[in-house]
Amino acid sequence: MFKQLTFLQNWLQENDVDAVFINDPNHVAYFSGYHSEPHERILALLVFKQAAPFLFVPALEKEDALSSPWTFDVASYLDHENPWNIIQQTILQRADHLATIAVEKDFLTVSKFEQLNLALSPSSIKDISPIIQQMKVIKTPDEIQKMIEAGKWADKALEIGFNAIGEGLEEQEIVAVIEYELKKMGIKNMSFETMVLTGDNAASPHGTPGDRKIEKNDLILFDLGVVYEGYTSDVTRTVAFGEPSQQAKDIYNLVLEANEAAIAAVKPGITAGELDRIARDVISEAGYGKYFNHRLGHGLGSNVHEFPSIMGGNDLVIEEGMCFSIEPGIYVPGVAGVRIEDCVYVTADGCEVLTHTPKSLTVVS
């Protein structure tokens, strides 16, 4: 417990930073064990070089925070109080003037940065975001275990979705069935808004499920993920309802080849850019390069999108314990949209795939 917190405290010591202000709710949970989405209210974790940390929460969450795994102090503010004054006062109870502080520049808004600066007047402000990214990028065995479970639930979600396919059904009806069945099984949150896209709609890589009805010979794209004990999964499968066109089948097989080639190449020592290149070459050599208009993949963990970014030009060297998606796609407007995505975790000499729904073209009739 609180191993990550200790890492942070050591970092503060080593870098002579007096305190760090963490306010990404996901990272507050990562370091404190207290999960919350405070909306526009202020939630923060303050960790010090030479004093006990404290959690800062809206008053209406105080009871929840006190009964969470967090064992250190909890400070709080009422809606009509100035949270920055209370943060300042709570800090003064445990530390003199903070000369150097660190904040999450990737999350903190300019407004809050200005307020914090006004309240604490540090001489220097550093960025903790890259340090947290670096910490989170290598998963512990315990984290990988949760991601394996999250992956199993994603496979389950696909199974429910495939079974729900029927002619004339709307995309969003299938989304409704998937989420309903999972919620009944105890899953509280999806990793992101479940996507079920058919026909032309699937040719948009970030389409929104709507009232388009499933028609015979459509391709249907499912992109979804499940949150299990705070860890996410993410998977995409494209299935056929009836008999797709030859060109759609060709596109499918190309995407599958790209997916499998990249997964086969994952191992410690290769770079993120090389992985992107391996998948992209398969697709480009067949003449579809311009229709693969996004990176190969993204890291995931407690956030569904985190480091590393698996994209061209990224020289980041892949290491054991990293988790990321491999998701090549080809989107030809008016013809077909196909994406096949699996997430993997890197082992000593390769990788293990987190989702196991078959990838050869499934025809639902």
Q: Is the CB of 154 or the CB of 361 nearer to a copy of itself?
A: 154
Query: What does residue 74 show for φ and ψ, rounded to 5 degrees?
Result: -125, 120
Based on CB atoms, which residue is closest to a copy of itself, 289 or 350? 289
Nearer to a copy of itself, 62 or 94 (CB): 62
Least distance (Å) between residue 352 CB and a copy of itself: 25
Cβ proximity to a copy of itself, 269 vs 333, nearer residue: 333
The least distance separating a copy of itself from the CB of residue 40, rounded to whole angstroms, comes to 5
Give the nearest distance from C-beta 74 to a copy of itself in angstroms: 14
End-to-end CA distance of the chain: 50
Pairing of strands 44-48, 19-22: antiparallel
Least gap, CB of 348 to a copy of itself (angstroms)? 29
Residues binding a copy of itself (CB under 8 A)? 35-37, 39-40, 58-64, 78-80, 103, 105-111, 113-114, 127, 129, 170, 172-173, 175-177, 179-180, 183-184, 186, 188-189, 192-193, 203-211, 276, 293-295, 305, 309, 311-314, 331, 333
Neighbours of 64 (CB within 10 A): 13
The encoded tokens of residue 306 equal 């985190």
Residues 34, 68 contacting (CB under 8 angstroms): yes
> In terms of CB distance, is 9 or 314 closer to a copy of itself?
314
Angle between helices 83-92 and 110-120 (to 10 degrees): 40
Smallest gap, in angstroms, from Cβ of residue 178 to a copy of itself? 10
Say which residue the tokens 């300019």 belong to: 110
CA distance linking residue 148 with residue 233, whole number of Å:
8
Biggest CA pair distance of the chain: 72
